[in-house]
Amino acid sequence: MICQTFGEDKPHRRQTFGGDRRFRGRVAVRNGSPRALYNRLTLDKASNAWGMEGTDSEVGGRVTHRGRTIVTLEDVARAAGVHYSTVSRALDPTTVRRVSVDTRKHIQAVAKKMGYQRDMVATGLKRGRTQTVAAVVADLGNPSIAPVLRGIASRLEPAGFMPLFAETQDDSSRLERILNHLLSRRVDAIILTAGRVGDVRILRRFSGHGIPMVLALQNVPGIRLPSCTNDDLLGGRLAAQHLLALGHRRVAQLRGPADVLSLSQRAQGFSKAIAAAGATEVIVRSTAPLGNADDGRRLMRLLLTSKRVRPTGIFAHHDLMALGAMTVADERGMSCPRDVSIIGYHDILNLERLVPALTTIRQPLEEAGRAASDMVLDLLNSSTRQPPSRRLAPTLVVRQSTGPPPEVRKP
């Protein structure tokens, strides 16, 4: 698993994934037969301490470089007592199912004991792929994104693909630079979780290059791409229905930016349910650009300093915002949930350890990552069929931060 944080377009920007520039330069200028180029790739990579299987021309004997023996497919085949092609299929995630279970386990055990390593450079040359899939996120520091990345990696790695992670910092210009960079790196596919409504022009231009792309968590109107998103209309409605069921008739929501479709749908679901019940929603004019605890504190202060009657129930669009709102309520001498009920969104780790433990809307984030990866693998394995989009249902998790409003609480 490789992580990259892209900086500004400066010569000294830090890079943590990709190939050796010196090695790439030698390959680019060297002429000769494909076999000669292939041999050169193997030797140069070996000099960087990568164990490789060798080339087809080297089958039948081991390769030694700087005193280190490189185990080849033929070595494994000879030790396992099977044909070379059987070993090749048994050690390739895309063909392993064509080998019987017992033979597969035997070959894999022998290969592991011998220290065999697949030659991914050779595999890429043979298949026209780099065996890499990029996942582009808005903020690597957002605790709700970690389960998504875990889900992505859990599907890609067994299929023989290396996930690369890049961060846009919620900046459309950075998104465009990152996509161009990934295009030049020849990644096989991209999973985008950082799309905003205004990014449709960037995505349309990029989709013309033919690299498969799947949208995860955030859909982008105006472009037809397979997507795996959460039902945020339902999520907002669940939050509203929970507060209404407790007896709250005056509520508010601390909203995220309107140009993120999932957040605008979250707001719509909440507002429609409140209006349908004949309750009152106190509108907070400002929004949270980052969705962190500082945003939650700022919006909660705006709400509490207003001359309007205070709401008794508050829905925050992110758990971190809810934590910030709880901090401000405590500073103002308000008890949660006695004086105000607060509900968050996402169900990030350790919310149950808070006092009071935070009621929230749980998103199946790891499942979303797995589903997005499955779509990518379908696209890579089928040149004609586009996988259907999926929408995952959130669930309400009731804890101690919500309760009846003061006017209906029993004495």
Query: Could you tell me if residue 199 is left (phi over 0), alpha (psi between -120 and 50 degrees) or otherwise beta?
Result: alpha
The alpha carbons of the chain give a radius of gyration, in whole angstroms, of: 27
Q: Picking from 43-57, 112-126, 329-343, which range would have the lowest pLDDT averaged per residue?
A: 43-57
- 31-125 is classed in which CATH architecture? Orthogonal Bundle (1.10)
So what's the pLDDT on residue 385?
Answer: 78
pLDDT tens per residue across span 165-213: 999 998 999 999 999 999 998 999 999 999 999 999 999 999 888 899 9
So what's the pLDDT on residue 36?
Answer: 36
- Strands, sheet with 213-217, edge to edge from the N-terminal-most edge strand: 2-3, 162-167, 132-137, 189-192, 213-217, 227-230, 390-392
So what's the pLDDT on residue 308?
Answer: 81
- Give the model's confidence band at 383: pLDDT under 50 very low, under 70 low, under 90 confident, else very high: low
Top-confidence residue, 5 or 388: 388
Residue among 359, 267, 241, 252 nearest 310 (CA): 252
- What burial class does residue 323 get, using C-beta atoms within 10 Å of its C-beta: 0-12 exposed, 13-18 middle, 19+ buried? buried
Query: Percentage of residues in the chain with pLDDT exceeding 70?
Result: 80
Contact assessment for residue 341 and residue 401, using Cβ atoms and an 8 Å cutoff? yes
pLDDT exceeds 80 at position 128? no
Q: Where are the alpha helices (DSSP H) in 54-207?
A: 73-80, 84-90, 101-114, 120-127, 146-156, 172-184, 200-207
- Residue 373, number of CB atoms within 10 A of its CB: 27
- Give the model's confidence band at 307: pLDDT under 50 very low, under 70 low, under 90 confident, else very high: confident
- Domain spans, the chain: 31-125, 232-364
Q: Picking from 38-47, 123-132, 252-261, which range would have the lowest pLDDT averaged per residue?
A: 38-47
Task: Assess if CATH 3.40.50.2300 describes domain 232-364.
Answer: yes
- Give the model's confidence band at 13: pLDDT under 50 very low, under 70 low, under 90 confident, else very high: very low
So what's the pLDDT on residue 298?
Answer: 97
pLDDT exceeds 70 at position 264? yes
- Give the model's confidence band at 60: pLDDT under 50 very low, under 70 low, under 90 confident, else very high: very low
pLDDT exceeds 60 at position 67? no
Residue among 87, 159, 73, 187 nearest 122 (CA): 73
pLDDT exceeds 50 at position 30? no
- Which residues, including other chains, have CB under 8 Å from residue 23's CB and lie 6 or more apart? 44, 45, 48
Q: CATH topology of 31-125 equal to that of 232-364? A: no
So what's the pLDDT on residue 127?
Answer: 67
Pairwise CA distance, residues 94 & 156, whole Å: 12
So what's the pLDDT on residue 369?
Answer: 97
The model's pTM: 0.73
